[in-house]
């Protein structure tokens, strides 16, 4: 959530920044300011009434001590109390309306974010390795999995519907090997593994995402105040809801494990295979940091993801996400896109975002700095590995002519074999 002081004191700067997002309606800023002005005026009236009530109550006490008649004064205090109650209701209603609009205002973009309307303007900042070359016609992951009997989509469609899957044999073992490899790697870097709840209450999930935008993406449990998590990021965000830390407690670094559930409603591409599915497993990096260290940790979580793909000997590119393609919460975002020979294109595998204090303000997560002052922490998150997508990259980049797949060296100890 944007700091209301930013709107009050730097309205023009905020509007100029928001205009970089291309399609955002900046008139919302003035609507919030108008409601805020009314709220502050009403609060001033309410404070005056409360002060008047206190003054009258003290006066009544003095009159009582002297044995005087306080009936008239009691009637006046009652009228003031009724006025306070009414003003309180009006203030609460106004505050709710203001804050709901305030929540819809996106985060301030970092000055380094590339300008552009859509993903065509995203900027490639670096690559790793070279596109794999084959002496044979490269298969896509669907062809490889069908050839090796590693998944069954038809039976899953009958049992559960489209975009579900049964994984089998070596593909299951590959997924478990990746889980162990990534968890061990992150643990050595000081990231605490956390297995999160697969469901969250509406209030909890609403603190970590803009639920109005995200509600069409995630599944709701019928007749329950519960939503299936679309990513462990949401559960990790509320892990420290409304907590206050000391500066010595930070950073807090987590590696969140969870199944992820997404509707993918209206999506027509990637309808075959396991690239875009309704459920998948993922390990997410999440960091609570001091404000002055968040840029450093944004680099760290991005590099952690890169190291994983480098260790797996996968060719990829890092993309700086432009102003028209970045999410509302992010101030800066990098994507890791792996090359898929079967599709002959780069596809997103990892997203690494710095939310700065935007998410923490919504969650009310603060810390006491070295001066003893309270500040909001900065929150950052990044995919470490989305298992099905990473497996696709391995299958396609390390495929052999007969449809077998060469196991990346770092996974051989987990799998006990060099070829699948």
310 vs 302: CA distance, rounded Å: 12
Is the domain of 186 the same as that of 268?
A: yes
Is the domain of 130 the same as that of 246?
A: yes
- Cα of first residue to Cα of last residue in the chain, in angstroms, is 48
End residue of a domain, out of 69, 103, 137: 103
Is the domain of 165 the same as that of 235?
A: yes
CB-based contact 42:87 (threshold 8 Å): yes
Is the domain of 79 the same as that of 156?
A: no
The 3-state DSSP class for residue 209 equals coil
CA angle 115, 22, 287 (to 5 degrees): 65
Is the domain of 80 the same as that of 158?
A: no
Is the domain of 69 the same as that of 174?
A: no
Domain boundaries, position 127: 119-415
In a domain, 30, yes or no: yes
Output the domain CATH number for residue 52: 1.10.287.40
Helices (H), 66-118: 71-103
Is the domain of 406 the same as that of 286?
A: yes
Is the domain of 125 the same as that of 225?
A: yes
Total structural domains in the chain?
2
End residue of a domain, out of 103, 131, 164: 103
- Who's near 55: CB < 8 A, 6+ residues apart? none
In a domain, 339, yes or no: yes
Output the domain CATH number for residue 387: 3.30.930.10
The 3-state DSSP class for residue 137 equals coil
End residue of a domain, out of 103, 138, 172: 103
Residue 272: per-residue pLDDT: 81
In a domain, 268, yes or no: yes
Task: Report cis status (omega within 30 of 0) of the bond before 306.
Answer: no
Q: Show pLDDT as tens, one digit a residue, over the chain (420 residues).
A: 899 999 999 999 999 999 999 888 899 999 999 999 999 999 999 988 888 888 877 777 766 776 766 677 777 878 888 888 898 999 999 999 999 899 889 999 999 999 999 999 999 999 999 999 999 999 999 999 999 999 999 999 999 999 999 999 999 999 999 999 999 999 999 999 999 999 999 888 888 876 666 777 888 998 889 999 999 999 999 999 999 999 999 999 999 999 999 987 666 676 688 999 999 999 999 999 999 999 999 999 999 999 999 999 999 999 999 999 998 899 999 999 999 999 999 999 999 999 999 999 989 999 999 999 999 999 999 999 999 999 999 999 999 999 999 999 999 999 999 999
């Amino acid at each position: 959530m944007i700091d209301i002081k930013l709107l009050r004191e730097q309205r023009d700067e905020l509007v100029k920044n928001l205009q970089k997002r291309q399609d955002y309606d900046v008139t919302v800023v003035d609507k919030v300011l108008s409601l805020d002005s009314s709220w502050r005026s009403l609060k001033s009236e309410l404070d005056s009434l409360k002060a008047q009530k206190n003054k009258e109550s003290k006066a009544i006490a003095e009159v009582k001590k002297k044995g005087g008649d306080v009936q008239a004064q009691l009637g006046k205090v009652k009228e003031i109390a009724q006025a306070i109650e009414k003003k309180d209701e009006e203030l609460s209603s106004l505050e709710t309306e203001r804050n709901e609009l305030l929540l819809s205002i996106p985060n301030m973009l970092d000055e380094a974010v590339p300008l552009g309307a859509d993903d065509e303007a995203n900027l490639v900042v670096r690559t790793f390795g070279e596109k794999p070359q084959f002496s044979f016609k490269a298969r896509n992951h669907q062809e490889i999995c069908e050839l090796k009997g590693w998944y069954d989509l038809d039976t899953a469609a009958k049992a559960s519907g489209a975009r579900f899957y049964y994984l089998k044999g070596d593909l299951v073992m590959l997924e478990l090997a990746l889980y162990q490899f990534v968890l061990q790697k992150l643990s050595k870097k000081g990231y605490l593994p956390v297995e999160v709840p697969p469901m969250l209450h509406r209030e909890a999930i609403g603190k970590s995402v803009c639920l109005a935008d995200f509600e069409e993406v995630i599944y709701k449990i019928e007749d329950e105040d519960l939503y299936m998590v679309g990513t462990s990021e949401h559960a990790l965000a509320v892990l420290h809801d409304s907590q206050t830390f000391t500066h010595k407690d930070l950073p807090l670094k987590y590696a969140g494990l969870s199944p992820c559930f997404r509707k993918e409603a209206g999506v027509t591409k990637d309808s075959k295979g396991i690239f875009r599915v309704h459920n998948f497993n993922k390990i997410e990096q999440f960091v609570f940091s001091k404000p002055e260290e968040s840029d450093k940790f944004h680099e760290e979580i991005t590099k952690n993801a890169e190291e994983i793909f480098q260790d797996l000997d996968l060719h990829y590119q890092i993309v700086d996400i432009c102003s028209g393609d970045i999410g509302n919460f992010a101030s800066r975002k990098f994507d890791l896109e792996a090359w898929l020979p079967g599709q002959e294109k780069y596809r997103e595998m990892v997203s690494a975002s710095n939310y700065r204090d935007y998410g923490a303000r919504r969650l009310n997560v603060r810390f006491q700095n070295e001066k003893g002052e309270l500040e909001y922490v900065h929150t950052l998150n990044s995919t470490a590995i989305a298992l099905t997508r990473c497996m696709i990259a391995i299958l396609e980049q390390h495929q052999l002519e007969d449809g077998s797949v060469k196991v990346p060296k770092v996974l051989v100890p987990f799998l006990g074999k060099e070829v699948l």
